[in-house]
Amino acid sequence: MKKRELEQLASKTEEHEFYTPIPDGYKKGKTKFVIVTGTVMSGLGKGIFSSSLSKLLENQGLKCMPIKMEGYLNIDSGTLNPYRHGEVFVLDDGTECDMDLGTYERMMDKNLNRQCFVTNGQIFSKIFERERKGEYLGRDVQFIPHVTGEIKRHLRELAMSSGADVVLVEVGGTIGDIENSHYVEALRELSYEEGRGNVCFAALTYVLEPGFLGEQKSKAAQLGIRLLMEKGIHPDIIACRAENPVTEKVKEKISIYTNVPVERVFSMHDVESIYLIPKMMREEKLEIEVMKLLGLDSKAKEDKAGNYAWDDFTQKVLKKKKNKATVGIAGKYTGLRDSYASIIKALEHCGAYLDTDIDIKWIETTKIENGGKPALSELKSIDALIVPGGFGKRGTEGKIECVRYARENGIPYLGLCLGFQIALIEFARNVCGLKNANSTEMNKETPYPVVDILPGQKNIDQLGGSMRLGGRDIDAKKDSQVYKLYGSKTTIHERFRHRYECNPKYIKKFEENGIIFSGRAPGENIMQILELKDHPFFMASQFHPEFTSRPLSPNPLFVGLVEAAIKLRK
């Protein structure tokens, strides 16, 4: 910032209480905002609601860009334990973020970027940086107006850089949380500054239905919305989460209590698949109501082909399937299904695509380590095995035994990231004769470090954001299995999140004993895909194919695994 600009800012902030940093070239009203908040409790499905609405608005010819605002002080989600916060999703640009962004990408079938995810840690870091540079020039930096100002700046910069007609803002947590209170205040200010017709608020609430009463009760929902209104935010749309369809009587009660027309009170009740939510919204014309509120109804150009394609997919999800397959997922976070959310969704996409009812069998690998053969016997009932990503020593010996069982018994296998490394360790020990081979992550003193830290990672002493992250090209070996699965492509693109690799010193040893490295990093000696020739399906990738699987285009590695599982079962 130039000295003259700093002086102008200083004189302005001394004379006025307004602090609203507006990016150069920003035009008020060009981009509209839809704000999605929680009320009674968290976990109601704000991300599902917001992504479904985004999809419908895009099917009306509008360009949408979602953003998730998290209340924690971490810079990103990269160091969070999956048991506390679910899986860490990775965007193509390498951003480690909340799993809700995976929901957005799958529902909208588009890649997002780092601007679509913001945390308190990011906001405060920017403010501290500006303060140290002297950009506030003598002002005491406060939550209002500086923290709220930085939040509004981020939203307006996203609006400009994306060129979106609508930015959909999901506020993490629920109303009343201290950690997101400044987001709520910033969005109230945004509505005031952008003006009537440029901002729409949607609130998710929960309608109770206690079994001992046998009827729905709306009072808790009303009180949750009342708390939101006390913050100065009056919702335009209310989505009611419930086990069963919300009755007209309850909708009317909520409508009267909140001044929200009953046609904008939406029943978001439990359904067989989240992919049914967009159709439910469309049947209630919810996207049309939003477009009216924002003055965008004149822009509507319905993509009927897109709606038909989605409806066809949801019909495949619901219909009785021709085939069946049981897929085992062997990991150490099996107590929380959200730890493997993208894998579950990738299998669901394959189920619809291959007309297959996929039953997931959860295999806790720490039990195999502790219980030995009785726990390992669970593998006898599966048609395919997945070993997902993960970190740390706990459960790895159990995973090694699972992979050995799959390799020796012809069970289709797909290893993901750590699952790639586990396959190498198992093969080194039991085929190459390298007793006690291991990864230096698990045992620094192993005599055969077949998996070792990447050279570029050796001098890094921090965890957050320091791995090999994001989308990268892979050279696929011609005529290999992976080459065929990806439609005869010699270059494929997938997302990574790792700091360990196949030790280059052992590549020749592996190849001499039967491993085919069918995917490599362009111009580098980094192995990224392995497969076994004389096996029904034995593949592992250093990348995470689950992050790029979409409802209408399942990831090829998952398709190959499920096809092999169907064949084995038959």
Same structural domain, 413 and 384: yes
pLDDT tens, position by position, 87-125: 999 999 999 999 999 999 999 999 999 999 999 999 999
Side chain identity, residue 476: A
pLDDT tens, position by position, 171-192: 998 888 899 999 999 999 999 9
Residue 433 lies in a domain: yes
Closest CA to 155 of 200, 201, 125, 190: 190
Give the relative orientation of helices 148-162 and 181-194 as an angle to the nearest 10 degrees. Answer: 60
3-state secondary structure (DSSP) of residue 351: helix
Active-site residue identified among 350, 417, 432, 502: 417
Same structural domain, 46 and 187: yes
Starting at the edge strand found earlier in the chain, the sheet holding 449-453 runs 438-439, 449-453, 500-502
Q: Which of 311, 346, 370 is the last residue of a domain?
A: 311
The answer to whether the CB of 415 falls within 8 A of the CB of 540 is yes
Q: What is the mean pLDDT of the segment spanning 344-366?
A: 94
Q: How many angstroms separate the CA atoms of 268 and 61, rounded?
A: 24
For the question of residue 200 being annotated catalytic, the response is no
Q: How many angstroms separate the CA atoms of 28 and 156, rounded?
A: 9
Closest CA to 281 of 56, 43, 33, 105: 56
Same structural domain, 136 and 100: yes
CATH number of the domain within which 532 lies: 3.40.50.880
Q: Which of 257, 279, 311 is the last residue of a domain?
A: 311
For the question of residue 546 being annotated catalytic, the response is yes
When pLDDT is cut at 50, 70 and 90, the band that residue 371 belongs to is low
Q: What is the mean pLDDT of the segment spanning 221-248?
A: 94
The answer to whether the CB of 558 falls within 8 A of the CB of 546 is yes
Q: How many angstroms separate the CA atoms of 464 and 336, rounded?
A: 23
Kind of pairing between the strands at 64-70 and 166-171? parallel
Structure tokens at 370: 């502790």
Q: How many angstroms separate the CA atoms of 569 and 559, rounded?
A: 15
Total number of domains constituting the chain: 2
State the chain's mean pLDDT as an integer: 91
What length does the chain have?
A: 570
Active-site residue identified among 185, 364, 546, 563: 546
Containing structural domain, residue 547 = 321-569
**What pLDDT does 542 receive?**
96
Active-site residue identified among 146, 182, 535, 544: 544
Q: Which of 311, 341, 362 is the last residue of a domain?
A: 311
For the question of residue 417 being annotated catalytic, the response is yes
Residue 42 lies in a domain: yes
Same structural domain, 94 and 198: yes
Same structural domain, 352 and 295: no
Same structural domain, 303 and 409: no
Residue 328 lies in a domain: yes
Q: How many angstroms separate the CA atoms of 158 and 118, rounded?
A: 11
Same structural domain, 424 and 516: yes
Closest CA to 555 of 12, 106, 201: 106
- Please report, rounded to a whole number, the percentage of residues in the chain having pLDDT higher than 90: 78
Is the confidence at residue 374, as pLDDT, over 80?
A: no
Going through 396-477 in order, the beta strands assigned E by DSSP cover 413-416, 438-439, 449-453, 468-476
Same structural domain, 215 and 266: yes
Same structural domain, 301 and 366: no
**What pLDDT does 9 receive?**
54
Residue 457 lies in a domain: yes
Residue 47 lies in a domain: yes
Closest CA to 541 of 418, 449, 429: 418
Residue 19 lies in a domain: no
Q: What is the mean pLDDT of the segment spanning 418-442?
A: 95
Same structural domain, 304 and 328: no
Same structural domain, 336 and 278: no
CATH number of the domain within which 260 lies: 3.40.50.300
pLDDT tens, position by position, 440-478: 999 999 999 999 987 766 666 666 667 889 999 999 999
Q: How many CB atoms lie within 10 A of CB 263?
A: 14
Same structural domain, 533 and 476: yes
Residue 404 lies in a domain: yes
**What pLDDT does 302 receive?**
80
Residue 48 lies in a domain: yes
